[in-house]
Chain A
Amino acid sequence: MAEFLSLRDAVERFVQNGDTVALEGFTHLIPTAAAHEIVRQNKQDLTLVRMTPDLVYDLLIGAGCAKKLIFSWGGNPGVGSLHRLRDAVEKGWPQALEIEEHSHADLANAYVAGASGLPFAVLRAYAGSDLPKVNPLIKSVTCPFTGEVLAAVPSVRPDVTVIHAQRADRKGNVLIRGILGVQKEAALAAKRCIVTVEEIVDDLEAPMNACVLPTWALTAVCLVPGGAHPSYAHGYYERDNRFYQSWDPIARDRDAFTAWIDTYIRGTADSAAYRAKIAQQQEAN
């Protein structure tokens, strides 16, 4: 059974220095509040896994929490570059960042394999691409039945996965709706799984075949309304496109970035305080 915890307690107990951590959510339901809490607690030497690093890992990389990034597309969607990621890769600031690069199909399959308890995933991929030349973990396997040579990649099995979802019931069963990305696979691939939710309800009102993660498959459930901002939570709030745009000048400059996290992340006690401060700033503009 999942424990109901504050996000602070969940991160303190279940995210350790040196862990492999997956904060998943494909554009939708990105668990940003959890990343903020990881920065507040100054977790170190994390190996971060995510198909699309997005702002959430730009922040963790810039804050110095990451030693390695496993990813498949690292841009600010619709805006441009992730400047903290680029600065770490190109200039080693604030510290060198090892990168392990895949394609989306590869990482999605690697999560499926992880959730399936398999050591590797097999897929038809990479023929003619240079990616296997720079990622020695991309290997090949020959089909024992047809002789076809296919790509083999290690499964993703994080120490801890964090996802955001719309709602949990009072037992800790979690309902996710809308674009699912690889949340379910990432949750089931991990040793421990923290879920932040918009609300806790008596009845999930989940249609048959809905994506429900049962409480006994999860470690902790945390009530964090707004926890996916600036991404969106289908049925609750929309993507804050302006925030994605405003991130560009913040992240572009080391000092501006450091000042921003000092004010808004390290300078706030928790997600509620952060949201209040951001709302105040947005009102002022």
Chain B
Amino acid sequence: MSAHLGNDYSTNEMMTVAAARNLGNGSVCFVGIGLPSKAANLARLTHAPEVVLIYESGPIGAKPSVLPLSIGDGELAETADTVVPTGEIFRYWLQGGRIDVGFLGAAQVDKYGNINTTVIGDYHKPKVRLPGAGGAPEIAGSAKKVLIILKQSHRTFVDKLAFITSVGHGEGGEHRKQLGLPGAGPVAIITDLCIMEPEEGTNEFVVTSLHPGVAREQVIENTGWQIRFADTVAVTEPPRAEELEALRALEARTAAAHGQLGGEE
């Protein structure tokens, strides 16, 4: 579905690869379903074989061969180091301060990395009712840092969220600290166009790296607030052959296992 850049790889592949690179080997990662799960597993299959993937349903150290379709697929349990009750995941492992990276998707995000997955329009008379919070509010609160991955558009990168489900940097600046949240909050938003990071001081997300072939205008057009660019904007390294190979093999295995469903939301 996504556009191809130079016929070598798609913008979606660039997004997944760029997100995966943010996950360090050996880090303990609380994984959301969909795009975060795809990127986290790509990291595990490439540069980060020792990454520990934790899913909210209970598996700790999951090593699935295909992408899970649901957050509680059987293969996550079968390949895990241990499977604990869901309450324990949130109490001991997340709230207990044992998660290095929370890896989240979103329906909408704002300039401070706050996330909406609840509702578009008025809460009591919604235009669109979204699935809701799931594990995200506490992952966003308690993980030592947070990565956000989602496709960029006017509809997803909005100036003002109808609803803050999971907090990023709140109203910017020191607001997150004032809220008393233990984790550092979102450190990067990875999209199909670019990478954004919080600007020092304001904690407003600014573009720090453009994916190859992406013009600034494209990013501006697809952002609902007046997006700013860092003083130095890098060009994201294109996917390496081994990254693409691992990603495509993972997607092919997933498609074979799940049919047309494919594991991407």
Interface residues of A (CB under 8 A from B): 26-28, 51-52, 71-75, 77-82, 85-86, 89-90, 101-105, 108-109, 111-112, 123-131, 134, 148-149, 178-182, 184-185, 232, 234, 238-239, 241-242, 244-245
Q: Are the CB atoms of B73 and A86 closer together than 8 Å?
A: no
Bound Cα distance from A108 to B58, whole angstroms: 12
Q: How many residues of B are in contact with the other chain, CB < 8 A?
A: 57
A26-B72, A26-B86, A129-B137 known; A179 vs B59 contact (CB < 8 Å): yes
Residue contact B133 to A102, C-beta cutoff 8 Å? yes
- Say yes or no for B71: interface residue by CB 8 A criterion: yes
Known A89-B129, A105-B138, A241-B261; contact A129-B94, beta-carbon cutoff 8 A:
no
A129 touches B166 (CB 8 A): yes
How far is B123's CA from A72's CA once the two chains are assembled, in angstroms? 15
Residues of A contacting B166 in the complex (Cβ-Cβ under 8 angstroms) = 129
CB of B151 closer than 8 Å to a CB of A: no
A-B contact pairs, 24 of them (CB 8 A): A28-B57, A28-B74, A78-B69, A81-B129, A90-B126, A104-B86, A105-B94, A108-B86, A108-B91, A128-B176, A178-B74, A178-B83, A179-B58, A180-B83, A181-B85, A181-B86, A182-B85, A184-B85, A185-B87, A232-B74, A239-B69, A239-B74, A241-B69, A241-B259
Asked if A78 and B265 make an inter-chain contact with CB atoms under 8 angstroms apart, the answer reads yes
Question: Bound complex: CA of A126 vs CA of B89, how far in Å?
Answer: 17
Q: Does B33 contact A (CB under 8 A)?
A: yes
Query: Across the A-B interface, how many residue pairs have beta carbons closer than 8 Å?
Result: 178
A124 and B74 form a contact (CB under 8 A): no
B residues neighboring A (CB under 8 Å): 33, 56-59, 69-74, 76-77, 83-87, 89-91, 94-95, 114, 118, 123-124, 126, 129, 131-138, 141-142, 163-167, 170, 175-176, 179-182, 258-261, 263, 265
A182 and B179 contact, CB distance less than 8 A: no
Once the chains are docked, how many angstroms separate the CA of A28 from the CA of B75? 11
A161 to chain B, nearest CB (A): 15
Q: Are B69 and A77 in contact (CB under 8 A)?
A: yes
Report if A27-B70 is in contact (Cβ < 8 Å); known contacts: A104-B56, A179-B59: yes
**CB-based contact B180/A127 at 8 Å:** yes
Q: Nearest-CB distance from B125 to chain A (Å)?
A: 8
Residue picked from B73, B258, B263, most chain A C-beta under 10 Å: B73
In the bound complex, do residue B91 and residue A112 qualify as a contact, i.e. CB atoms below 8 Å apart?
yes
